[in-house]
Structure 1
Amino acid sequence: MTPAARVQAAIDVLDLVIEAARANGAPADRIITDWFRPRRFAGSKDRRAVRELAYRAIRACGDMPASGRAAMLRLAAGDPEVTALFDGTRHAPQPIDPAEPVATSGVAPAWLMKRLAASGIGEIEARALLDRAPLDIRVNTLKAGCLSLPEGGERTVAANGWRYPPETRIEDTDAYLSGAIEIQDTGSQLTCEVLAARPGEIVIDLCAGAGGKTLALAAAMEDQGRLIACDSDRTRLSRLAPRAQRAGVSRIETVLLDPGREAGELASFSGQADAVLVDAPCSGTGTWRRNPEARWRLTERQLARYVETQARLLDIAAGLVRPGGRLVFVTCSLIDEEGAGQAEGFLQRHPGWLVRAPVLPVGAPRGSGLRLSPYRDGTDGFFVARFDLL
């Protein structure tokens, strides 16, 4: 592909990304992968170049663009080399008409910027949410004896964390294929450390998803005790079993939950858990480095639903913890309604709980918890709070 043809390809991909964002469809990375599948003429350099152009354009636009071309024109407005490729040659985009629409620049839609500002996230810190994320891995201590780490990494502040350049093909390494390492952001690893899961305990991961944090908890527990992974998404939860097998984990129990009926389905664990992790569904504002188009998908109504769901899950989790046990609340969000405000609401509804401030090597206090951000801590954005039952 010529450089100009790559720009047109990125425009075509962006049209699909924008369409999916409007319809709450597939994420950009999957769209890009699927777009290239039938186009075997595109080599690895072409795929990499088109992907980079598409993501650069996504990051350059604040509001959702009207089209892929409008998004690429926003990128071209600050890049003369890209502008020159709108030359109208074969497979290239047509020359730029000065009167045609150009997407607006910015970090996020105006209503989201107001929410971030109200949560103490200024312009500079907000812009860091769109930086390209590094590749972080967690050493799986259950298989550390057979570990040979890939070259090019450096230690992170997480107990078992290493960081690599974002383009590292870590999934092709023997360490990954053997289960000796897992891909996991440093901030995500640190939130698991706050739970302080120990061997022999009963630990519940209430919103396990595909099990990234579940596997970290299993390693901390040395695969001893009871670890219950729960989620209402059958597809995501089904991915945990093969991941656990690769990681050498054998003691995970899975519970598929029916939304709205979780309390009844978990009644057998009432008052028994030593620790419960609530990694609640949220807006994902802290993960924009990895999913920059996610800021176009979010609406105020969706945010309100997330806040309601988080409060309900916290109330359910509170009933699962034994006296003397602990509950850790996590969201990958920098909006206070999903962090400090949510924690404060929990304490008001449940006066028998004590705040135990997380002690981590990074992060800044926010309400009853701690907030991590890309700008200050080099991690994804997280809020984490720990509560102990008296």
Structure 2
Amino acid sequence: MTPAARIQTAIELLDTIITAARTKGAPADRILGNWFKANRFAGSKDRRAIRELVFAAIRACGPVPQSGRAAVLRLAQNDPALADLFDGSRYGPAPIRADEPVAQPGIAPDWLGERLRLSGIEGEALAALLDRAPLDLRVNSLKADRAALALPEPAVPTVAPSGLRLPPGTQIEQWPAYRDGLIEVQDTGSQLACLAVGASDGETIVDLCAGGGGKTLALAAAMANGGRLIASDTDRGRLSRLAPRAARAGATNIETRLLDPGREPEALADLAGQADAVMIDAPCSGTGTWRRNPEARWRLDEGELARLTALQSRLLDLGMSLLRPGGRLIYVTCSLLDEEGAHQFDAFLARSPAMRAAMLDLPAGSARGAGVRLTSHAAGTDGFFIARADRT
């Protein structure tokens, strides 16, 4: 592909991504992956260049752009070489007109930027949300030891006990250590959230919102495959990915339960008052994950945020009902908004006299309300709120 053709392809892909963001369709990564599979003529260099251009354009725009062309023109305003490729050549973009729209810059739509500011995220902390994220790994202690593990490329230990860090974009899928389940891709912040659970052999632990099971696998390793680990979720597709991942990782103490939305207590009735620990990695706005999913900020609106906070509140109450006396609840969101983090947890404590906030001793993060907040700027991780409460 010519450089101009790559730009036109990026513009067309951005049009699809913008439409998907407005309609809650497929994420950008999936849209790109599907296009690359269907267009084999694009070589590896083409795919890399197109991907980088698409995500650079997404990061450069604050509100949802008018079009993919407007998004790329935002980049071209500060890149004369890119602007020169709008030359009208075959398969390339049409020349730039003086009066055509250019996407607005910024970190987020105005309403969301104000919510972040009120939550103490501004300045460098706000800008860091759109940095490129490194590739973090978790060494699977069921099969390997971080100190003794040899990888094809040098990795730096992170503050997580089993964490390693590689540069952004490192391709590990063909590494023997990955294929054999010695390592898992997992952000250091996610690893610290699992560390907060304090999971140990012999316990009964519920991962209430397990999704694809990344945190479940970390908990299984912490439990050394002992005890009972229940991974539940309402998303059949995501939960179905856990079994092959668990087999690769050598995790054998995991049970999965598919929940019916709105009727979760029925599927978990046998666990009521039985769990030593419940982890609630609650569905949230994902404001802490923009380094990896920058178009997520185009998908969120105030109505969706209200729906998410109501769901989080209900999940906290459900999690508490599963705990035995003395059991612990760990609440996690990959959000930096206080209404999903510190304020949400404070409201839970206020209406739950049987629960007492417990101090977390994590190797990164700062106090926020009754919990700990991790930010990309200060901790070098995805953004998280993590809190613990014990049942009396």
TM range (shorter): over 0.9
Distance 2:56 2:322 in 1: 45
**Which residue identity does 1:294 align to in structure 2?**
A
| Deviation (angstroms), 1:89 | 1.4
Alignment of 1:291-302 (within 5 A): 291-302=293-304
Please state whether the residue corresponding to 2:225 is helix, strand or coil: coil
Give per-residue Cα distances to partners, 1:290-325, cap 9 Å, x unaligned: 110010010100000000000000000001111111
Structure 1 distance, partners of 2:55, 2:102, is 17
Q: What's 1:59 paired with? A: 59
- Alpha carbons of structure 1 residues 150 and 357: separation in structure 2 relative to 1, 3 Å: farther
TM-score, normalization by structure 1: 0.98
2:136 corresponds in structure 1 to 136
Question: What are the Cα deviations for residues 30-85 of structure 1, in whole angstroms up to 9, with x where unaligned?
Answer: 10111122222211000000000000000000000111000000111121121111
Answering whether residue 181 of structure 2 is matched by residue 179 of structure 1, we say yes
1-side partners of 2:38 and 2:30: how far apart? 14
* Alignment partner, residue 95 of structure 2: 95
SS in 1 for 2:142: helix
| In 1, Cα distance between equivalents of 2:24 and 2:120 | 28
Query: 2-side partners of 1:371 and 1:215: how far apart?
Result: 23
Counterpart of 2:22?
22
Q: Distance in 2 between matches of 1:79 and 1:158?
A: 39
The within-5 A match list for 1:26-175 is 26-144=26-144, 147-175=149-177
> Normalising by the residue count of structure 2, what TM-score does the alignment of the two structures yield?
0.98
Query: Matches of 2:359 and 2:76 in 1, distance apart?
Result: 46
Cα distance in 2 between the residues matched to 1:108 and 1:150: 38
Deviations 1:94-128 (A, max 9, x none): 11101000110000000000100010111321111
- Could you say which residue in structure 1 is the equivalent of 2:2? 2
- Describe the superposition over 1:210-239 as per-residue Cα deviations: whole angstroms up to 9, x where unpaired: 000000000000000000000000000000
Which residue in the other structure is 1:209 paired with?
211
Q: Aligned runs of 1:265-304 on 2, under 5 Å?
A: 265-304=267-306
- Which residue type is aligned with residue 366 of structure 1? R
Please state how far the C-alpha of 1:277 moved relative to its aligned partner.
Answer: 0.1
Q: Match for 1:323 among 325, 331, 342?
A: 325
| Separation (CA, whole Å) in 1 of partners of 2:247 and 2:238 | 16
Letter in 1 for 2:39: R
Counterpart check, 1:381 vs 2:391: no
Q: Could you give the per-residue CA deviations for residues 110-150 of structure 1, whole angstroms, max 9, x where no partner exists?
A: 00001000101113211111111100000000001694333
Partner of 1:252: 254
Q: Secondary structure at the match of 1:108?
A: coil
Distance (Å, rounded) in 2 between the aligned partners of 1:212 and 1:92: 41
**Structure 2 Cα separation of the partners of residues 370 and 281 of structure 1:** 18
Partner of 1:307: 309
Q: Do 1:332 and 1:380's aligned partners in 2 also have CA atoms closer than 8 Å?
A: yes
Identity of aligned residues (%): 63
**Helix, strand or coil for the counterpart of 2:63?**
coil
More displaced 10-residue stretch of structure 1: 102-111 or 78-87: 78-87
Q: How many residues align?
A: 390
SS of structure 2 residue aligned to 1:170: coil
Mapped partners of 1:369, 1:183: distance in 2: 25
State the Cα deviation string for residues 351-383 of structure 1 (Å, max 9, x = none): 121211211111111000000011111100000
Counterpart CA distance in 2 for 1:263 and 1:41 is: 51
Q: Give, in whole Å, the separation in 2 of the partners of 1:86 and 1:152.
A: 40
Maintained 8 Å contact 1:150/1:175: no
Amino acid of the structure 1 residue aligned with 2:370:
S
| Residue deviations 1:164-214 (CA, integer Å, cap 9, x gap) | 011211111000000000000000000000000000100000000000000
SS at match of 1:141: coil
The one-letter code of the counterpart of 2:123 is E
Alignment of 1:228-243 (within 5 A): 228-243=230-245
The amino acid of 2:317's aligned partner reads D
The runs of 5 or more residues in structure 2 that have no matched partner are none
User: CA deviation digits over 1:253-287, x for unaligned, max 9?
Assistant: 11110111111221110111001000000000000
Give distance in 1, aligned partners of 2:73 and 2:123.
23
Q: AA paired with 2:139?
A: V
SS across alignment from 1:354: strand
| Distance across 1 between alignment mates of 2:234 and 2:264 | 9
Report the Cα distance in structure 2 between the residues aligned to 1:366 and 1:219, rounded to whole angstroms. 29
Residue 318 of structure 2 aligns with an amino acid whose one-letter code is I
CA distance in 1 between counterparts of 2:2 and 2:302 reads: 42
1:143 & 1:40 partners in 2: Cα distance?
37
Cα shift at 1:152: 2.0
CA separation in 1, counterparts of 2:258 and 2:248? 21
Partners of 2:174 and 2:8 in 1: CA distance: 30
5+ long unaligned stretches in structure 1: none
Letter in 1 for 2:353: P
Q: Would you say 1:369 and 2:371 are equivalent positions? A: yes
Q: Letter of the 1:28 partner, please give it.
A: A
More off after superposition, 308-317 vs 141-150? 141-150
